[in-house]
Every structure is written in structure tokens, then in C-alpha cells.
Structure 1
């Protein structure tokens, strides 16, 4: 399996974003309509949700809808209000130098592995300035973010929370995009995450230039929680979806990552752990192989996208467009009924975790 990762710089939504939309919309459309069009919220509900919870995004949403052709379905999808349920893997860590640490260049870092199916990855690394602030983020759902950093020095990433609960709310990538667009620091980001409803359970890791950090549990059916966990996988307070936790080694990954974070003298030690088992996963055919590792450095606004044999560096101040082709060895192939032609494993595909 091969994935193309492309770095794109476009300050305001235009032709480059429109080409991304045209490339990925057929797959997203199929995913969005998997339960029928009536299963998804109507246009007025989607617009009201954006206006109520993330009003600053509305002008950009309207511009993107225009670039996407102005259709009702496209507008509803891009609102990301009430999308179909979806899940992924992922490991995340906030590393902080201990007092007395004299390792050269040892500055706080946010690190993550993104575990998913290669065939379902956008692979777009977008540098934008949609609302005046430079944001460098890995795209998902066409304008959401899986992880990223802004020029205020706030870094953020997300991982699935390991629960089946589904409720009324936004898909988390758009919420993370909103945080990166408008929050200057961790406190502001936590405030946003505390008031914006999400449709499933996720864990968001945050780190800013002042070395303030937070791990935030967001769910559709529980109050938002800020917890003092520097290392997380796909658990919140414990295993709630046993099949998912077993298949993705969630407990093993979290324990291994926490041990490394406690002992590491440098974020490079944490990165090395992310690039080897059990944190580095190779079950690409089953949809939870590690597609990339990322290291965010808020102190200088830089980021590295890393694979076992390659590193790609960018920053908010110096972002260079380009592309990388990454090849993945497929450990196993999932049965046909578990490989969806759309964008995400769904909650009824529990067989994927047997």
C-alpha cells in the first residue's frame, strides 16, 4: 500500500482547496450517505449549529460551499454537524523537560502516531491563513484537522476515545480546526472544547509556547474533563469497547508510551518509541496501521512528519509545498465486509475488531 502526502500552501480557500474537494468528494459523499440522505441533518439545522457554536467559521464555510459547487449536500457535509459515526486508532504524548534537564534543544513537544487505513487517508498537509492566523495542519474531512499548530505556538492533536456512544454534535476534526484557527493558548482551547458539542468520544492533547498543556476528554454524553495524563491512546478512564481496545492494543500502547514519557530525557526518545512496536502498528489491512508520526515544537512553531526512514520538516514561518510517497507493508488483509468503500470504519463493523 502506498500513500501520497502532499504539502499545500494556500492562505485563503481557492483553487488548491477546490482541487482537494474534487479529488476526495466522491468517497466522502458515499460515506456521508451510507445510511441514506434523511439520516443526516438538514441544511438549516447544520447552518444553525455552526452559527450557534462556531460562528467565526461561518464565512469560511460559506466560501468552501461556494467552491464545492453550492449544493445542499455539500453544505451539510462541510458543516460536519451530525456525521456518520467513525473511529480510528492513534497514540499521543506531551513531553516536558524535567527540572535540571540540560540536554541541548530539550524543549516541550507534542508527539503523536496516527493509525488508520492507508487507502482512506487524505494525506494533505495544509498551510493556511483563513482567519489571519497561520495554521499548519493535517487535513481531514476536507477542512478539519487531525493535528496541527498555529503561529501563536498552540499545538493540538486528537485520538478516538474508545467508546461507542454517539450523540448530537460536530465531527471532531472541525472542532480541532476551530481551536487552531482561533485559540492562542491552552486555556482558550480548553474553553472552546468545553462548550462545543461533539458527536463521539475523543481525546485532545494540547501544548502551547508557554509549556502549558492539557489532555481533554470530550464526549457526547458526559461533561468535558481535563485530566493530567501526558500519554494517551484510545482509552479515557478505562476500556469501554473491549473489541476495539484488544485489536488496537490500546492498553499496551498507553502503558508503553506513559513509561517512555516518564523516563525520556528528550522528545527524541519518545519519537523513537513511537516508531517501533507496540506503538508503531502494521495492521494496515485492518485499518489501524501507523500512517505517520508527528512532532510539534511550540517554542519555534515547527513540526516534523516522521516515518521510520524519512523525516519531513515544516514550520509556521517556513512552509515549503511538496509531496512524499510513502509505502506501507501490509501485515494482513481484512475480510471484504470490513473494508468500507467510504471513509471510516463504522460502529456496525465490529467484526473488524475480532
Structure 2
């Protein structure tokens, strides 16, 4: 199998007002244009999603205004609400235990931004950014860490893309219980599984446009929720196999870098792009690839880049 490479970068953006975030976002903007829904391109749709954002994420409104104002694009504010984006469905695996959040992120390499961002929009947050300011996973200075996997069901409704929900929880919450409480009032567009960890607790919560947030039996998630998995789903996603494997392995990085949890990049272009281990009490995250790792922390965040090999499990 041909080995692929992907470059990840780490940047600091402060409160988003000094041009560093904007320079990064402008460089990515052309590739983002197709993610906005047709409704989001209409005046009525834009008004609806801006109102939704202001109603449900009022603390982030000043940040939204600050960021959108630097992009000089008429649709920037609508886009940055993450409430008018086309759905996407990464196939990931994650577990929270003993103050640690461990996850694999599986997606096509050319469709992942691959940017580790240290920000202080409302508070210090470090995470793997995607779609300009959303987060696939991350932690804050209170010791809370959050990551997401696709919930595996093909339903869609009005609400937010999960990446801005992860950002919002980390910007505004100190604990798992507080974050779970916030989730109960946030409309989410696509079924997703959130795993949350703080110094005292770890849970997984199932969310979606057709259900109330539901706490899972344990703090593990692959790509299904409360409903039975069909044979077709299992063949495509191997979600039950991965969930059993991560429950058995626990927070073991070595297991995450081997099948069935690690997925080599296949002919369809999907694969495990990174493994992340968050230790939020220590303010530290380490990203892993077979044979390589990269650590970042609140005390010692180092901007730079890493080009890593994908396509072969260890």
C-alpha cells in the first residue's frame, strides 16, 4: 500500500484580534467555500443561523464578530456560526478514563485542516482545529477535555456542526457536569458522540437533531449510539469491533496505533490521521503517529510543523 504523508502545524492565535488567526483563515478560505449550504447563502438563511448563534452561544458572539470582521467576506459571519454547514461524518474512536482523554481521528487526509491551535478567545484552549475555529478535540485551562465522533445515523436537522459545540463547551465550561448541562440546550445538526473528561469524571454523551442528549453506558465511543447496528453499518464502519477493542484496551496509546483501532489509509482515501492523548489536569496533549509523537502544553506551546507518515499501522 502506498504510504501517504500529511503536514500538521501548530499556531498561536491569542484572542483572534491581532491578525494571526485571520492570516491562517484567509489561506484556507477558498477550500472552505463549498461547505456552506444553499440555505446559508440566502439572506433569510443567514439571518436564521446568526440568530441561532446569538441565542445559544451568546458568550462567543464578540469572538464571532471579531473573527468575521477580519475576513472581509460577506458570508464570513454566516459561515463561522457553523450552523449552515454541509454535514460530514468522520469515523473515530475515543475513551475517557482517570483524567485522560484518548482518541483516534479517522478521515481523508486532504479534508482535515491539521492545525493544533493555542487560543485565548475567552480563556486558554488548545485543540485540533478544523473549519477555521471549530475543534475536533481539545482542552481548557480548567482541566476539561472534549472530543467527538460521528454518531453513525443518517439524519440531519437545524442546528450547529459539532466542531463549534466543542469550541463552545471548552470556552465556557469548567467541568464535565457543567458541559453536559450546556449540551441540553444546544441544537446539533448531525448525530454525534462527545466524550468529556475532567479531574473527577469521564462520560460519553450521544447527541443529535432527533434526540435529547443521552449519557452512554461508559465513557467510550465509536460510530454508533443507542440503536442496533446493522450488518451493513458494521461492514462499513467496524464500529462495534472498535468499541469493543477500546473498552478492552483502555487508555492505551499502543493499542490505538494498531488495528482494529488504527485504520491504514485505504483506496477510498480514509485512514487514522492522528491519535491524541489529552491530560487536561496537567495542561498537556500529545499527538501520536506510528513511530512519532508531538507534545504541546499550556506551559510550553511550540509553534511549528510536523510532516508525518500515514498509511501503515505499527
TM-score by length of 2: 0.93
SS at match of 1:235: coil
Q: How far off is 1:247 after superposition?
A: 1.8
| 1:307-326 equivalence runs, <5 A | 307-326=289-308
For residues 5 and 139 of structure 2, what CA distance do their matches in structure 1 show?
26
Partner of 1:198: 188
Q: How far off is 1:153 after superposition?
A: 0.4
SS at match of 1:80: coil
Matched, 1:327 2:309: yes
For residues 307 and 40 of structure 1, what CA distance do their matches in structure 2 show?
44
Structure 2 CA distance for partners of 1:273 and 1:56, relative to 1, 3 Å? same
| 1:131-280 equivalence runs, <5 A | 131=122, 133-209=123-199, 211-240=200-229, 243-261=232-250, 267=251, 270-280=252-262
Aligned with 1:295 (options 271, 277, 291) = 277
Matched, 1:111 2:115: no
* C-alpha distance after superposition, 1:328-353 (max 9, x if no partner): 2389xxxxxxxxxxxxxxxxxxxxxx
SS at match of 1:10: strand
Alignment coverage as a number of residue pairs: 309
For residues 44 and 197 of structure 2, what CA distance do their matches in structure 1 show?
34
Structure 1: where are the runs of 5+ without partners?
97-107, 262-266, 332-354
Partner of 1:86: 88
Kindly indicate whether the alpha-carbon contact (under 8 Å) linking 1:304 and 1:312 is maintained by their aligned counterparts in 2.
yes
Q: How far off is 1:317 after superposition?
A: 2.2
SS at match of 2:282: coil
Partner of 1:49: 52
For residues 245 and 60 of structure 1, what CA distance do their matches in structure 2 show?
41
For residues 267 and 166 of structure 2, what CA distance do their matches in structure 1 show?
27
For residues 53 and 109 of structure 1, what CA distance do their matches in structure 2 show?
29
For residues 144 and 281 of structure 2, what CA distance do their matches in structure 1 show?
9
For residues 40 and 165 of structure 1, what CA distance do their matches in structure 2 show?
25
For residues 145 and 310 of structure 1, what CA distance do their matches in structure 2 show?
23
For residues 239 and 229 of structure 2, what CA distance do their matches in structure 1 show?
11
For residues 193 and 241 of structure 1, what CA distance do their matches in structure 2 show?
28
Kindly indicate whether the alpha-carbon contact (under 8 Å) linking 1:88 and 1:288 is maintained by their aligned counterparts in 2.
no
Matched, 1:27 2:31: yes
Structure 2 CA distance for partners of 1:285 and 1:8, relative to 1, 3 Å? farther
Q: How far off is 1:239 after superposition?
A: 4.3
Partner of 1:130: 121
Greater strand share, structure number: 2
Partner of 1:74: 76
For residues 36 and 185 of structure 1, what CA distance do their matches in structure 2 show?
35
Structure 2: where are the runs of 5+ without partners?
none
Kindly indicate whether the alpha-carbon contact (under 8 Å) linking 2:159 and 2:189 is maintained by their aligned counterparts in 1.
yes
* C-alpha distance after superposition, 1:29-52 (max 9, x if no partner): 02325x576579622212211110
TM-score by length of 1: 0.83
Q: How far off is 1:230 after superposition?
A: 2.5
Kindly indicate whether the alpha-carbon contact (under 8 Å) linking 1:40 and 1:83 is maintained by their aligned counterparts in 2.
no
Q: How far off is 1:15 after superposition?
A: 2.2
How big is the alpha-carbon RMSD for the aligned residues of Structure 1 and Structure 2?
2.0
Question: Relative to structure 2, which stretch is displaced further, 182-191 or 234-243?
Answer: 234-243
Q: How far off is 1:23 after superposition?
A: 2.0
